[in-house]
Structures are given as structure tokens and as C-alpha cells.
Structure 1
Amino acid sequence: MKILDGRSLSKQILDDLKSKIDSYNQNTIPPKLVMVMVGDNPASISYIKQKQKSAAKVGLLTEVLNLSQDLSTAQIVNEVEKLNYDNTVHGILVQLPLPVENPEKIIDAIDPDKDVDGFHPFNVGHVFTNKDLEEMAPCTPKGVIKMLEHYQIPIKGKHVTVVGHSNIVGKPLAVMLLNRDATITVCNVYTSDLKAETLKADILISATGVPNLIKKDMVKDQAVIIDVGFYKDENGIKGDIDFENVKDKVSYISKVPGGAGPMTVACLIENTIIAYEKQISN
């Protein structure tokens, strides 16, 4: 069994980006990421701080736009549109979840060229087209693909089961794996026999946030396991995989924390630099 170490790989990615960012910071307008937070959700505050910390390590300029949860959707859209027209802002991230009705209207308001989360329908459509158009793919799926590729784990022709079908992880990740010629099964809360589906998987990726959902008897011998789940309580952080009992049965496995999480942040910063390069070239 080998650990898919997202922490060390993310450090490599960020180290590579740092030299670019150092160079771009000499420009009249350096790259800048603005994170929009609506309300004061403690988990959202924590996530934003983690992103700021990683960005600061590589010299990426960030700003947090704190908005009241009493604002209407239209008022929040107006604030996002101001950022769209600000040529000193190259990446816009709206922290989810949003405490408003119709949150998709706010995501849709982001300029696709500044949508570093990759959630705008324009960028999602690119992901659905082919892998050559995935440059602004959602960060967690992008990070998972980078882990598989870094560890030279074959995807083509493999049966991949994705547990969880969110717009943020499950759906785009399934499409990105299809773009690489995998055979895909996507499961959700209504899947009648989850174990039967997970046992088919050469590569099993779980992204539900249900702690220890995937047990040893649900995993094929020598499968590759990537845990994208995140659950935090008074006993600490857990993933979807029953790691201690599963690890000796598989060929590769990622840990929580230290797997998909750091890769997500690294890909966010990478997407911001891609967005910057695209905007300054225009």
C-alpha cells in the first residue's frame, strides 16, 4: 500500500507557481484573488483563512470581501459584477454555502474568465467537452486528476466508481475521468446497493462527508482509493473511508487530512494564475 500524498504534491505545485508569481508581482498590475464571503459561517471563515495562508506562502495577493447575509441576491450579484469590471482583480471565488435563495444566480454572475472555482456554466461546459478545455476545471476534481497522474495510476479502461454526485466534486470529476476513457459509475444517497457498485471499482473515489462510509468489505483487493470526504467533530477530522481497516487491502490510498484538501487549494491558486495570464494576454 502506498499513500497518495496530496500535501507533498501540492507543495510541489505551489513551489512551481511561486517563481511565476514572484515574476508577475513585478508587473504594474500583479495577480490578485478576491474571496467573497456572505455572512459569518465559522466553517467558511476557516476555509477562507486556509486559502489566504496558502496564497501568502507563494506571494499571491488576496482580499476578502465580507458581505452581510441580510443582502439580497441582487445586491450580492451587484458586488460580484463590480469585481468583474475591476481590472486589478483576476480571480473571484464565492465561498459556499451561500445563505441566500438562488445561490446559482451569484455563481452565474461571475465573469467566466475570473471564475477560479470553475463553477460557472461556461467553464463547466468546457469540462464536458474534452480534457483540452479543462484549464479552469473545478479545483477538487482537478486535484484528484493531478494526484492520479502524478502517481502514474492508469485511468484509461479502468472502472471508476465515484460516490457522491455534487456539482462541486462528483459530477465534474466523473466527466473528467470519462474524458480520459474510464468507465464510470456514479453513486448517490439513492443508490440501492452501494457495496455492489464500490466492489466493481479499480479506482474508488468517495466525496460524501459521511464518516467511515466505505468499509473494508466494500473495497476490491488492490483498488486505488481517493477520499474526498471531510467530517469534523470533537474527535477530529475524518474522511469517507474507514482508513485503518481499508489501507492494507488496497494498492494506493489518500488520507484525510493530507490528501484531496491541499490539492484543492493548490489548484485554486493555479487557476488564479491561469486566469491572470489569460487576462493580461488580452
Structure 2
Amino acid sequence: MTARLFSGKALALAMESDQKVRAEALPRNPALAVVLVGDDPASRVYVRNKVRACERTSVRSIEITLPYETTEETVLAEVARLNADPEVDGILVQLPLPEHVDASKVVSAIDPAKDVDGFHTTSAGSLLQGLPGFRPCTPAGVMEILKAAEIDPAGKQALVIGRSMIVGKPMALMLLDADATVTIAHSRTPNLPELCRQADIVVAAAGKADLVKAYMVKEGAVVIDVGTNRLPSGRLVGDVAPDVVDRASVMTPVPGGVGPMTIAMLIENTIRSAEGRLGKAH
């Protein structure tokens, strides 16, 4: 068996066509404010990709770049200013922040109504209780991939590798909400290969190159690779080894798989925020 490689990039571009129409139907362009503190190269790349996606979808991008030495109080004041701005629909503070700035405090300061990253405790609580609210963009993107690939998680065994608040934990909750039977594995899980072989759906989000190998994957499983790891050579690879393509039925590539969908869901959350704020709920 050779896996069907599912292009998240193609799906994201298809979503952008609808998003652009919805954005241009509003009384004003939706606005996404991105706060970047410091000069982390990876963060700059992520922010640049988000800005380009905004341009393609008629979302106004507001970029606030602050030097590394910016105090926590200044960052919090910037967030407060954006919270109060009625023209701003979404606020994203790019992580990681410098060590002297408490990321949890900054994220908690964002107005939940503008928390398009879905990281606020209010957003997390809404997800846990199955209530409406913004969902973290990466796991939300994975769910869109499964839907587009016509994979129904209901009744399936799903394994999520990784337990972060950004991907692993919300991913598990979203799959559970879709009626999958979910197991979470992490760095201290002793029997990972055994758990993998039992799973119909594997979502790898541990941040370890080639963690999931072909011998660990059940024939015909769906394998979603969320990992982004840069090798010493500079090449970008995921958490899933290339030979898994010979075992899986559907697999996402790195790059070009989940990454573009993360940005697509950020744009989606921003437009939904604007639609709600301007009285045109989608």
C-alpha cells in the first residue's frame, strides 16, 4: 500500500477563496493584529506567512514588532490597547516570547472575543465543555484535513502523540468530540510502538524527527504529521519517517501538510470574529 499524500496547502488555498468573498462582504475588512517580540528567525517566517495569507484573503494585517528587551508591562499594555480597539478583530501574540516575559500572563490578557489563536483559558474551557468558541488553529486544521479527506473519526481508535496545550491536548478533545476513542502518548509513554499499531488515526505532534516509523503503523492507518523539525542540514522534516508512506492509507507531508492549514484556520477565526462583531455570523 502507498499512502495518498494529502496536501494541506491545496486545501488552504481552496478555503482562501471563500474567506476572501466573506471578508469583502463585510462593512470593513477584518483585521488581525500580530505582536512579535524579539527577532527569532522562525517566528519571523511564521509572521511573514500569516501576513501573506491576510493579503490573499482581504484581511487587514496589523504588525506590531517590539525589540527583545521590551518589558512584560509594555507587552501587556500593547495587548490592552488592541483589546480596546474596535477595528481589531483578532489578536495573536507570536510565541515563544523572551524569557523575561510571562507568556501565560500575556495570553490571558487577550480579550477572549479576539483570541483567534484559541489559547486563552476561556477558549480552552469552551473546547472542554463543547461550547462555541475559538479553537486552536493547528488541531482545528487537522480536523478540516480529516473532513476534506472524507475520514470520519467516529468509532475509530485515535492516537495523539504529544500533550502540549497548543496541539496535543486540544487535538485529543476535538477527536473525542468527533466520537473517536482517543489515547494520548508522550515522552514518558513506554509502549508507543504498541499503541501506534492499534490506532486507525495517528496524529504525531511530539517535535521529534522520524519518531513514527513504518513498523509502528497499522496497515491502512491515517497518519497526520504535525511535527516540524529542522535537521542540521537545514532540511525540514516531520515526526513521521518517510517509509510510513508504504503503510498508511492517507498521510500528510512536511512541509505542505498541516502547516498551511494552521494559517488557514487563523484567518478563518479572524473572519468569524469580524462577522460576529459586525452582525454577519457565518
TM-score (norm 2): 0.94
Contact 2:33 2:61 in 1 (8 A): yes
CA distance in 2, matches of 1:236, 1:174: 29
CA distance in 1, matches of 2:90, 2:106: 15
Deviates more, 1:95-104 or 1:203-212: 95-104
CA distance in 2, matches of 1:184, 1:102: 32
SS at match of 1:281: coil
Q: Show the counterpart of 1:106.
A: 106
Match of 1:12 among 11, 14, 32: 14
Task: Map 1:41-190 onto structure 2 (within 5 A).
Answer: 41-99=40-98, 100-130=100-130, 133=132, 135-190=133-188
SS at match of 2:184: strand
SS at match of 1:125: helix
Contact 1:73 1:105 in 2 (8 A): no
User: C-alpha offsets along residues 48-83 of structure 1, whole Å, 9 cap, x if unaligned?
Assistant: 001111111122110111122222222211110100
SS at match of 2:198: coil
CA distance in 1, matches of 2:162, 2:92: 23
The one-letter code sitting in structure 2 at the alignment partner of 1:169 is V
CA distance in 2, matches of 1:187, 1:102: 27
Task: Map 1:209-220 onto structure 2 (within 5 A).
Answer: 209-220=207-218
Q: Give the CA RMSD over aligned residues.
A: 1.3
SS at match of 1:241: coil
Q: How many equivalent pairs are there?
A: 276
SS at match of 1:275: helix
CA distance in 1, matches of 2:209, 2:24: 40
Q: Show the counterpart of 2:245.
A: 247
Cα offset for 1:102?
2.4
The one-letter code sitting in structure 2 at the alignment partner of 1:8 is A
Contact 2:29 2:58 in 1 (8 A): no
Match of 2:277 among 269, 276, 279: 279
The one-letter code sitting in structure 1 at the alignment partner of 2:262 is T
The one-letter code sitting in structure 2 at the alignment partner of 1:81 is A
Contact 2:107 2:120 in 1 (8 A): yes
Cα offset for 1:107?
0.1
The one-letter code sitting in structure 1 at the alignment partner of 2:200 is D
Aligned sequence identity (%)? 39
CA distance in 1, matches of 2:10, 2:68: 37
SS at match of 2:175: helix
CA distance in 2, matches of 1:200, 1:102: 39
CA distance in 2, matches of 1:121, 1:258: 30
User: C-alpha offsets along residues 38-57 of structure 1, whole Å, 9 cap, x if unaligned?
Assistant: 11111101110011111111
CA distance in 2, matches of 1:193, 1:72: 44
Q: Show the counterpart of 1:31.
A: 30
Match of 1:3 among 2, 5, 11: 5
CA distance in 2, matches of 1:162, 1:235: 27
User: C-alpha offsets along residues 119-161 of structure 1, whole Å, 9 cap, x if unaligned?
Assistant: 011111111112x62x510000000001111111120111100
CA distance in 1, matches of 2:162, 2:70: 31
Q: Show the counterpart of 1:225.
A: 223
Cα offset for 1:22?
2.0
CA distance in 1, matches of 2:134, 2:165: 15
TM-score (norm 1): 0.94
CA distance in 1, matches of 2:70, 2:247: 51
Contact 1:31 1:273 in 2 (8 A): yes
Contact 1:30 1:88 in 2 (8 A): no
SS at match of 1:92: strand
The one-letter code sitting in structure 1 at the alignment partner of 2:222 is V
SS at match of 2:25: helix
CA distance in 2, matches of 1:246, 1:235: 22
Cα offset for 1:101?
4.1
